[in-house]
Amino acid sequence: MEAASDKKAVDIVLLDTRGICSFADYFVICSGDSNKQIEAIRDEVGHVLKRKGILPHHYEGTVDSGWLLLDFSDVIVHIFAPDEREQYQLDKLWSQAIPVVRIQ
């Protein structure tokens, strides 16, 4: 979350999904205001975790699609453009998850 915040991600939320999700323990959901910012958030999250020896299993999406997913096995990071975040409403879809932290 700190890496995303360092790149000025907005509306960052960490959800504890352990009780309701079989494929991840936590979701990080955040937004960037432009393609360049979304790319910067993705790159920073990847670099910070790589320095700690944590590598993603895979990436999904493209900057142009407005939704990037970084799968670190136990933690999945979703980076959205504002319109796509509103469209997919993951915060509501996973509303039974326990919110750990929210940074507006």
Among residues 28, 15, 17, the alpha carbon closest in space to that of 79 is found at: 28
Q: Number of structural domains, the chain?
A: 1
Can you say how many angstroms the Cα of residue 92 is from the centroid of all Cα atoms in its chain? Answer: 15
pLDDT surpasses 90 at 38 = yes
pLDDT surpasses 90 at 69 = yes
| CATH number of the domain within which 52 lies | 3.30.460.10
pLDDT surpasses 80 at 75 = yes
The CA distance from 26 to 78, in Å, is 11
pLDDT band, very low/low/confident/very high, at 46 (cuts 50, 70, 90):
very high
Q: Would you call 86 helix, strand, or coil by DSSP? A: helix
CB–CB of 48/64 below 8 Å?
no
**What domain range includes position 24?**
2-103
Residue range 53-66, pLDDT digits in tens: 999 999 999 999 99
Angle at 45 (CA atoms; ends 44, 49), nearest 5 degrees: 115
